[in-house]
Structure 1
Amino acid sequence: MSAPSAPGALRRAVAETAGGLPGSFWWLWTSTLVNRLGGFVVTFLALYLTAGRGYSATFAGLVASLYGLGCAVAAVVGGVLADRVGRRPTLLGAQLGTAVCTVLLGLAEGRAEIAVAALLLGLTSNASRPATSAIMADLVPPQDRVRAFSLNYWAINIGFGVSAAVAGLVAAHGYLLLFLADAAATLLCALVVFAKVPETRPRAGAGPAAAAGGSAAGGPGPGNGTGLGRVLADGPFMALVGLTFLVALVAQQGSTTLAVDMGAAGLSSTQYGLVIGLNGLLIVLLQIPVTRLVEGRSRAALLVVGALLTGWGFGLTAFAHGAAAYALTVAVWTVGEIVQAPTSMALVAEMSPAEARGRYQGVYSLSWSAASFAAPAAGGFLLDRAGGGAVWGACAVLGTAAAAGYALLVRGRRAQDPGPVPEPVQPVREVQEALGAAPAVAGEAAAAGTAAAAGTAVG
């Protein structure tokens, strides 16, 4: 039997990676890509404030922390709104508000104006995250969610890699253009959502999941099956959130403290843009192959490996001096990000009831938002007071602690670790078709069993 041709193998790989997902998912994917292609401001905020405006690393960290504070509040509020008001209106309102606040931040002059604008930008921009994740979980069946979240993460980083590299060149001629371009991209993203992405919030009482939940407010209501109190009382889920917070504390240094450290080492904004853009480029190149490689492996092991690579990748920054050395450290922690992020996002989707996906995604997003509040201030303060070695050593410690926490969290629960959902074999499909039954029914039944088993799984 002849070996398959390279084009044929490539077509099969693309079909296995991207095939079978709903059309609405791809419109949401497109809107994410457009938004991230113009996502200049947050990446360059610390460098803009220090190199462009002459403020200290401490002030830059404070502003980034206020942005993070807004994100933290928005994570919970956005999740509640996604469940109560709807995914689509929450997403559209957040995107329109983000565009306005981005322009306000670019035009802000004094310290107080910059701080307030950054807080408002955090409030508006992060309110979209729970809604986006909930829409994806609503649209995509359980057996395809890791793949879908990986593809969405891939889109984020295609945009991030391109925008970081281009923005570094544009910033050399003035920063205001970055703010205006970011706002325009967000408006275009909102237009795509308005035109092509449907509302996916489950109707009250629609299905077993909706019927099973209780109301935090004391009575039934649309999207109100599981209140925040029940989410916060979900011990395994909150443990996952706490460990994600430790990883996020480390990862947030890439867009704040790392920029200041590289500037202090004499590297230009263009060099920083190219180095940090490597993060997005590597994710674009490696996310899909790595996802295929680790498919079916223990999620506990993937989370441990991801945390270690993230922590020690940033730890290696203590030994970096030139652009090439910084790029090498970025490559290490990027691999950790590739492994950790989609795994944890898919796990959250499986642990959350359908009628409360916005709340669960919002609380999970809170781990990153809280880190974006705490990490810049802590990193900037530590960098000013103790130097880069202390910052990057602390990153290695936090990554190791998170890895140990993941290992402890899943001890004794390995039997509940969800594996891949098997597809019906070809003869089964043929019998189903001959009997007039839809082949998808078997897959959906298996998916439902996996989702039920994953309801309490952590690893």
Structure 2
Amino acid sequence: MPSRALSYARRSARETLSGLPRAFWWLWTGTLVNRLGGFVVTFLALYLTTQRGFSAAYAGLVAALYGLGGGLAAVVGGVLADRIGRRRTFLLASLGAGVTTATLGFVTHPVVLAVVVFAVGLTSNASRPAVSAMMVDLLRPEDRLRAYALNYWAINVGFGVSGVVAGFIAGHSYLWLFLGDALMTVLCALVVFARVPETAKPVTRVAGEKGPRTGLRQVWRNRRFMALVGLAFVLGTVLQQAFTTLPVDMTRSGFSASDYGRVLALNGLLIVVLQIPVTRWARKRRPVVMLASGALLLGWGFGLMALIGRAGLPAYVGFYMLAVAVWTLGEVVHEPASMAMAAESSPAEARGRYQGVFALASSASAFAGPVAGGVVLDSFGAVAVWGACAVAGTVTAGGYWMLLRHPKGRPAGTHPRSLDSTEGGAGGPADRRSLPL
């Protein structure tokens, strides 16, 4: 029996890991190393309040500025990835992130500090559209789902380990926390720049035309793609409640910070354990099935928390863990499929722009999620927050079904008909009429 299980595990690992290009694995390694050194965001609020003595309101404002910088970076980084190339954009953004992160450890004036945090948000997020575009360029359509799943796995492993390491470093010196983050970012950038070739292909131009033919205007006008971005934003807003509303609700229910830590740790653990086997199972499923089912599990997993301590369900940590297990499964199913679908939707000549606009959904949800959750929690209570999450997951699942039911049903890892339809999308005749941004 153990030998059969071992054989199955080996076969699963071989099917998941084999056949991907070497350049992808350099990008994957860069993602892992970058997240292992991603200390600043995790401990920024704690640094501002405990080390610098600023108020919680100021810390919240600075965190919002970081998110604002990240939102702007998503668009700017996408445009640069198409204009000057993926590698140059990645290198410039990463070097900028290293400089601004290191600077953050030395500034003390509240205005200057806020400006530097905005710059950290801008530079550290500007490389992401370039990395996403490089992955799409490098990978065959049938390999993209598992590649994005592996990348998402690396992100979560890096995030989990960095939290432990950062806590140890911060106990000795916050300055070394910032310098360590900066050093890891720069080293990662240099290695990836040296090992990964430029993946952007030359664009065929019509006589007299300058630059790529597809600009941001065409991305915004692609109604089906923007619907995909909107659905990702809604689910991103739901996911944000795990880091903002959930700890407040648990504290009000009498649980400790360590209880919340155990509950949230389960999320990271399950992602690490489930991501690869779930992705192997998902490769033969239609994209609409993966996205809709993931949205339902996400929404209703959060919705289950409306029953804890209410409706006769006792307030036990174990019930929170059950809810986390449900929405984590939804996250594991939904996130790689969503990224793969966005990849299928981006034409080569504007891949950076498309990936940048899609990344904007994450930045916007990181800004809107805490605000919305806090307002609803204070005004209507926790039941309203978790009930709204269930409704949002249901509506999003219906949106995916309406959006993707018409393309020929293919497995989630294959190349379905792109969302770049003739409805103003990239690749249609409308693309040729206007200049890019």
Whether these two folds match at TM > 0.5 is yes
Which residue identity is paired with 2:166?
Answer: A
Report what 1:267 is aligned to. Answer: 256
Report what 2:215 is aligned to. Answer: 227
Q: Does 1:361 align with 2:355?
A: yes
Report what 2:238 is aligned to. Answer: 250
Contact 2:301 2:323 in 1 (8 A): yes
> Which runs of no fewer than 5 residues in structure 2 stay unpaired?
310-314, 424-437
Q: 1:395 aligns with which of 389, 392, 395?
A: 389
Contact 1:167 1:273 in 2 (8 A): no
Deviation of 1:252 (Å): 2.3
Q: Does 1:346 align with 2:345?
A: no
- 3-state DSSP of counterpart to 2:203: coil
Moved more, 139-148 or 376-385: 376-385
Distance 1:72 1:200, change over 3 A: same
Aligned partners of 2:246, 2:357: CA distance in 1, in Å? 27
Contact 1:165 1:273 in 2 (8 A): no
Partner deviation per Cα, 1:337-370 (whole Å, 9 max, x = no partner): 1111110111111111111111110111111111
Distance 1:325 1:40, change over 3 A: farther
Distance 1:263 1:74, change over 3 A: farther
Report what 1:439 is aligned to. Answer: none
Contact 1:61 1:379 in 2 (8 A): no
Q: Number of residue pairs matched?
A: 416
- 3-state DSSP of counterpart to 2:186: helix
Aligned partners of 1:394, 1:176: CA distance in 2, in Å? 41
- 3-state DSSP of counterpart to 1:398: helix
Partner deviation per Cα, 1:113-165 (whole Å, 9 max, x = no partner): 44323322221111111101100011111111111111111111111122234
Deviation of 1:388 (Å): 4.3
Q: Does 1:406 align with 2:400?
A: yes
Deviation of 1:183 (Å): 2.3
Partner deviation per Cα, 1:175-205 (whole Å, 9 max, x = no partner): 5544333223222221221221211111122
Partner deviation per Cα, 1:205-238 (whole Å, 9 max, x = no partner): 2xxxxx6xx89xx8242xx131111111111111
Which residue identity is paired with 1:251?
Answer: L
Distance 1:307 1:356, change over 3 A: same
Deviation of 1:455 (Å): 4.9
Aligned partners of 2:371, 2:224: CA distance in 1, in Å? 29
Contact 2:408 2:416 in 1 (8 A): no
Aligned partners of 1:185, 1:399: CA distance in 2, in Å? 37
Aligned partners of 2:115, 2:321: CA distance in 1, in Å? 33
Which residue identity is paired with 2:219?
Answer: V
Aligned partners of 1:117, 1:108: CA distance in 2, in Å? 8
Report what 1:284 is aligned to. Answer: 272
Aligned partners of 2:113, 2:373: CA distance in 1, in Å? 20
Contact 1:50 1:260 in 2 (8 A): no
Which residue identity is paired with 1:167?
Answer: A
Distance 1:52 1:309, change over 3 A: farther
Contact 1:66 1:119 in 2 (8 A): yes
Contact 2:30 2:188 in 1 (8 A): yes
Report what 1:416 is aligned to. Answer: 408
Partner deviation per Cα, 1:374-403 (whole Å, 9 max, x = no partner): 223333444555554444343333223322
Aligned partners of 1:349, 1:262: CA distance in 2, in Å? 37
Contact 1:315 1:394 in 2 (8 A): yes
Report what 2:147 is aligned to. Answer: 148
Q: Where in structure 2 are the equivalents of 1:373-452 lying within 5 Å?
A: 373-383=367-377, 388-411=382-405, 413=406, 415-419=407-411, 450=415
Q: Where in structure 2 are the equivalents of 1:109-258 lying within 5 Å?
A: 109=108, 111-168=110-167, 170-171=169-170, 175-205=174-204, 219-221=209-211, 224-258=212-246
> Which runs of no fewer than 5 residues in structure 1 stay unpaired?
206-210, 422-446
Distance 1:177 1:401, change over 3 A: farther
Which residue identity is paired with 1:419?
Answer: P
Partner deviation per Cα, 1:294-347 (whole Å, 9 max, x = no partner): 222121122122222222333444537676554444333221111111101111
Report what 2:9 is aligned to. Answer: 10
Q: 1:305 aligns with which of 293, 297, 311?
A: 293
TM-score, normalised to structure 2, is 0.84
Partner deviation per Cα, 1:383-428 (whole Å, 9 max, x = no partner): 55555444434333322332222223234x1x4343367xxxxxxx
CA RMSD of aligned residues (A): 3.3
Contact 1:418 1:453 in 2 (8 A): no
Partner deviation per Cα, 1:244-271 (whole Å, 9 max, x = no partner): 1111111223344445556675634x66
Which residue identity is paired with 1:295?
Answer: R
Which residue identity is paired with 1:344?
Answer: S
Aligned partners of 1:110, 1:390: CA distance in 2, in Å? 40
Which residue identity is paired with 1:351?
Answer: S
- 3-state DSSP of counterpart to 1:293: helix
Contact 1:149 1:345 in 2 (8 A): yes
Contact 1:31 1:189 in 2 (8 A): yes
- 3-state DSSP of counterpart to 1:160: helix
Contact 1:36 1:163 in 2 (8 A): yes
Instruction: Give the share of equivalent positions with the same residue, in percent.
Output: 57
Aligned partners of 1:191, 1:275: CA distance in 2, in Å? 37
Which residue identity is paired with 2:395?
Answer: A
